[in-house]
Chains A and B, each alone.
Chain A
């Protein structure tokens, strides 16, 4: 049985052979980045289920757990890789790169600083380097309100015009796009709030 790229592209999205080739960067940049973001969502789900155990961890420790989860999903992820500064999460395969910046939730202005690092420092925003994510670990209640708060701050304060896409209510994530000043291409950021709020009342 000889299998071509076309055969694999025609398999269902969740078929293991297709999933493996997407993660290996063989089915295009969009599919690769979508796979990275799906894997991050699974990792966040896991972290939030164990928030009682993880809520005392720092930003780097939580990021390393997420990177470990990406590795288990067959993705080549690294912590603190140098990209004109130390990028918290870099997922790389061949020419494809996806950048992740992680921040503790110290308020919208602090998160805006992370957005600036992600877009202006780490990502060159070329055709295969123009997607990333902002992960914010919050110990505050109502992560949806926290997400909306920092999205509003970014839209109001960032120098380039920001397009906000509607918040996805299935995943509680946001998306922004803006023209990257270096390349002139659209830079797309997925915004992931991670709830570490843990105050049992029993």
Chain B
């Protein structure tokens, strides 16, 4: 667990030489810590960064912020993978995704058949671990 001060120090350091605006990451971090929401899409994070910024931040800025917030020594965000297809919603582990990528199909019992079109149904999402930062 890190303190809020340490989090801000890590963020400041990560943005020292990147030529990017540190405000994006700080806005996302503040929003994550103030909310009780469990999972976020790229779109949610983009919206969070652009509150009061009218579309200033792009997806590349969001990825840079995500890289900082999911780093081992921060741990505020974790990348997750969710399969969504009609009536089936399933959270995949990284290992399950890797097996599907190697096999060229996702074989879920819930789905009932090996899904060769899984790549268009697996969404990259992020879960927030608020316990990683003590307020």
Q: Is the CB of B42 within 8 A of A2?
A: yes
**Chain A residues in 8 Å Cβ range of B120:** 4-6
In the complex, whether A50 has a CB less than 8 A from a CB of chain B is no
Q: Is the CB of A20 within 8 A of B63?
A: yes
In the complex, whether B46 has a CB less than 8 A from a CB of chain A is yes
Q: How far, in whole Å, are A17 and B79 apart by their CA atoms in the complex?
A: 12
Q: Is the CB of A4 within 8 A of B122?
A: yes
- Identify 10 residue pairs between A and B in the complex whose beta-carbon atoms are under 8 Å apart, listed by A's number: A1-B41, A1-B43, A1-B59, A3-B42, A5-B81, A16-B60, A16-B64, A17-B63, A94-B94, A94-B95
Q: Which of B59, B99, B119 contacts A17 (CB 8 A)?
A: B59
Q: How far, in whole Å, are A16 and B68 apart by their CA atoms in the complex?
A: 13
**Chain A residues in 8 Å Cβ range of B63:** 16-17, 20
In the complex, whether A93 has a CB less than 8 A from a CB of chain B is yes
Interface residues of B (CB under 8 A from A): 41-43, 46, 59-60, 63-64, 66-67, 71-72, 79, 81, 93-95, 97-99, 101-102, 118-124
In the complex, whether A187 has a CB less than 8 A from a CB of chain B is no
Q: Is the interface of B mostly helix, strand, loop or mixed?
A: helix
Q: If A16-B64, A20-B66 touch, does A5 touch B124 (CB 8 Å cutoff)?
A: yes
**Chain B residues in 8 Å Cβ range of A17:** 42, 59-60, 63
In the complex, whether A161 has a CB less than 8 A from a CB of chain B is no
**Chain A residues in 8 Å Cβ range of B122:** 4-5
What 15 additional pairs, Cβ within 8 angstroms, besides A1-B59, A3-B123, A26-B94?
A1-B41, A1-B42, A1-B43, A2-B42, A2-B43, A3-B42, A3-B124, A5-B97, A5-B124, A17-B60, A20-B67, A28-B101, A74-B71, A95-B99, A96-B98
**Chain A residues in 8 Å Cβ range of B95:** 94-95
**Chain B residues in 8 Å Cβ range of A27:** 101
Q: How far, in whole Å, are A54 and B83 apart by their CA atoms in the complex?
A: 48
B63 to chain A: closest residue by CB: A16
Q: How far, in whole Å, are A173 and B98 apart by their CA atoms in the complex?
A: 28
A32 to chain B: closest residue by CB: B98
B94 to chain A: closest residue by CB: A94
**Chain B residues in 8 Å Cβ range of A127:** 102
B100 to chain A: closest residue by CB: A5
B58 to chain A: closest residue by CB: A16
Q: Which of A2, A6, A74 contacts B41 (CB 8 A)?
A: A2
CB distance from A5 to the nearest CB of B (A): 4
Q: Is the CB of A26 within 8 A of B81?
A: yes
Bits for A1-39, please: 1 = Cβ < 8 Å to B, else 0.
111111011000001110011001111110000000000
B101 to chain A: closest residue by CB: A28
**Chain B residues in 8 Å Cβ range of A93:** 94
B62 to chain A: closest residue by CB: A17
Q: Is the CB of B98 within 8 A of A95?
A: yes
Q: How far, in whole Å, are A190 and B60 apart by their CA atoms in the complex?
A: 31
CB distance from A142 to the nearest CB of B (A): 34
In the complex, whether A117 has a CB less than 8 A from a CB of chain B is no
Q: Is the CB of B42 within 8 A of A28?
A: no
**Chain A residues in 8 Å Cβ range of B119:** 4-6, 9
Which of B42, B66, B98, B118 has the largest number of chain A CB atoms within 10 A? Answer: B98
